[in-house]
């Protein structure tokens, strides 16, 4: 059985599509866990309507605690051998679960992921030929390096199926953004193999006003996660330190890109990012695995923060 955990918060306009896409799966040995995280709209009522119709749907209503808390509540009650997470405003291809389970069976991986399609309201997903999709497998070392060097295997908890036992002593960090980035390293340290099916079967909805598209001081949690991870890796697995530093540097450049220009409240964060860039740019530019776009940003940084910010702001104005 596969436990499908769907954290839900104020997504009334998208929720039925999400749940229907799970009910339409070609693999049917499922338990569907709907975690209503204190929604203020009709999302909770929608959950209850589905609960009345389908025996394999379970609804949990709780006070608002955030995405991590909602996922953790789902993990506490999940009974499946495998678990997958689908955000309440996203949806999936009908073969999503069956194809990933077959990938696990054929490769012996403990985690199987697919690629995804990023959609806006009104977009129609591209057609997916699951049968012709290529599969790539990664050892633990390859998977960790690929994730933190930002290769084709990303850090998201969505778009994949996990052996549930991987979460026996592991939970998402509560009260922080970038919870997937915080948990991916300890997850990967538990596995021998990860498989990536190159079929875009997870449909990620890019919504204006969603958490990931809203700049706030909470976005700096990514820096906190990576600082802690860098310290941890340096002590227990230094072979991964270059990859984690590369990801940390990338996060610093991204923070500079997102921060509104000339607003005093962002000065501490700007200084924090700039200090890290100056300290790590020489090591990272010598690393052949660092992404080319980050190396370009590193070269620009040698002309000073003012020049770098001028380039970033000019690029942002064209978006």
Residue 206 — pLDDT band, cuts 50, 70, 90? confident
Kindly tell me if the per-residue pLDDT of 214 is higher than 90.
no
Same domain, 34 and 66: yes
Mean pLDDT of 168-180: 92
CA distances from 268 to 105, 111, 256, 281 (A): 49, 38, 11, 20
pLDDT above 70 coverage of the chain, percent: 95
Given pLDDT bands bounded at 50, 70 and 90, which one contains residue 235?
Answer: very high
Q: Note whether 16 and 139 are same-domain residues.
A: yes
Q: What angle do CA 182, 255, 203 make, to 5 degrees?
A: 60
Examine the fold and report which residue of 179, 211, 243 is the final residue of a domain before the chain moves on.
Answer: 211
Distance CA 311, CA 301 (A): 10
Flag whether pLDDT at 212 surpasses 90: no
Q: Are residue 206 and residue 222 in the same domain, yes or no?
A: no
Cα separation, 39 vs 203, in Å, equals 22
Number of domains in the chain: 2
Say how far residue 64 (Cα) sits from the centre of its chain: 20
Provide the terminal-to-terminal Cα distance of the chain, rounded to the nearest Å. Answer: 44
pLDDT band at 316 (very low <50, low <70, confident <90, very high): low
Work out the mean pLDDT of the chain and round it to a whole number.
93
Are 180 and 284 found together in one domain?
A: no
* Residue 104: closest CA among 129, 68, 80, 77: 80
Tell me which residue has tokens 């009345």.
Answer: 52
Taken as a whole, the chain contains a residue count of 319
152 & 176 share domain: yes
Categorize the per-residue pLDDT at 176 as very low, low, confident or very high, splitting at 50, 70 and 90.
Answer: confident
Mean pLDDT computed over 47-68: 97
Note the pLDDT tens digit of each residue in 11-57: 999 999 999 999 999 999 999 999 999 999 999 999 999 999 999 99
Nearest Cα to Cα of residue 183 among 131, 111, 122: 111
Co-location of 109 and 126 in the same domain: yes
pLDDT of residue 177: 87
Same domain, 253 and 178: no
* Residue showing tokens 């839900």: 8
**Domain termination site, one of 186, 211, 236:** 211
pLDDT of amino acid 32 = 98
Q: Which has the minimum average pLDDT: 44-48, 261-265, 267-271?
A: 261-265
pLDDT > 90? residue 73: yes
Residue 160 belongs to a domain with what CATH number?
3.90.550.10
Tell me, yes or no, whether 147 and 254 share the same domain: no
Residue 149 shares a structural domain with residue 39: yes
Given a cut of 50, whether residue 202 has pLDDT beyond it is yes
Least confident of 131-145, 177-191, 248-262: 248-262
The per-residue pLDDT for 319 is: 52
**Paired tokens of 126:** 């591209």
Mean pLDDT, residues 291-303 taken together: 95
Higher per-residue confidence, 122 vs 130:
130
pTM of the model: 0.93
DSSP labels, the chain: -EEEEEEESS-TTTHHHHHHHHHT-S---EEEEEEEES-SSSHHHHHHHHHHH-TTEEEEEE----HHHHHHHHHHH--SSEEEE--TT-EE-TTHHHHHHHHHHHH--SEEEEEEEEE-TT--PPP--GGG--EEEEEHHHHHHHHHTT-SS---SBSEEEEGGGGTT--PPTT-S-HHHHHHHHHHTT-SEEEEEEEEEEEEE--TTSGGGS--GGGGHHHHHHHHHHHHHHHH-GGGHHHHHHHHHHHHHHHHHHSPTT-GGGHHHHHHHHHHHHHHHHHHHH-TTS-HHHHHHHHHHTT-HHHHHHHHHHHHHT-
Confidence of residue 213 (pLDDT cuts 50, 70, 90): very low
Alpha carbon distances (Å) from 296 to 289, 293, 302, 312: 14, 5, 10, 12
Range of the domain at 189: 2-211
Q: What is the rounded distance in angstroms from the CA atom of residue 197 to the CA atom of residue 180?
A: 20
Same domain for 197 and 221: no
Instruction: Tell me the C-alpha distance between 135 and 15, whole Å.
Output: 30
Higher per-residue confidence, 53 vs 220: 53
What pLDDT does residue 67 have? Answer: 96
Which of 183, 211, 239 is the last residue in one of the domains?
211
Rg of the chain over CA atoms, in angstroms?
20
Whether 183 and 219 map to the same domain: the answer is: no
């Amino acid at each position: 059985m596969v436990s499908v955990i769907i954290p839900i918060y104020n997504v009334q306009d998208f929720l039925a599509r999400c749940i229907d896409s799970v009910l339409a799966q070609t693999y049917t040995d499922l338990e569907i866990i709907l975690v209503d995280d204190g929604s203020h709209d009709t999302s909770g009522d929608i959950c209850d309507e589905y609960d009345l119709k389908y025996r394999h749907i379970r609804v949990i209503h709780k006070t608002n605690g955030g995405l991590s808390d909602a996922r953790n509540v789902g993990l506490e009650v999940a009974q499946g051998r495998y678990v997958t997470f689908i955000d309440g405003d996203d949806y999936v291809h009908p073969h999503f679960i069956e194809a990933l389970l077959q990938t696990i069976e054929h490769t012996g991986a403990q985690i199987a992921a697919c690629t995804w399609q990023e959609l806006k309201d009104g977009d129609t997903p591209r057609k997916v030929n699951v049968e012709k999709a290529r599969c790539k497998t990664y050892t633990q070392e390859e998977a960790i390096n690929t994730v933190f060097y930002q290769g084709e295997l990303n850090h998201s908890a969505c778009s994949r199926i996990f052996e549930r036992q991987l979460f026996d002593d592991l939970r998402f960090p509560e009260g922080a953004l970038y919870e997937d980035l915080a948990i991916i390293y300890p997850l990967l340290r538990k596995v021998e193999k990860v498989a990536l099916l190159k079929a875009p079967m997870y449909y990620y909805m890019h919504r204006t006003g969603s958490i990931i598209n809203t700049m706030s001081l909470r976005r700096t949690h990514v820096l906190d996660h990576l600082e802690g991870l860098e310290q941890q890796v340096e002590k227990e697995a230094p072979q991964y330190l270059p990859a984690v530093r590369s990801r940390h540097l990338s996060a610093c450049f991204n923070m500079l890109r997102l921060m509104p220009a000339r607003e005093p409240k962002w000065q501490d964060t700007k200084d924090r990012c700039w200090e890290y860039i100056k300290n790590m740019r020489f090591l990272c530019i010598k690393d052949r695995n660092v992404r080319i776009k980050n190396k370009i940003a590193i070269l620009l940084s040698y002309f000073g923060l003012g020049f770098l910010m001028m380039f970033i702001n000019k690029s942002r104005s064209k978006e």
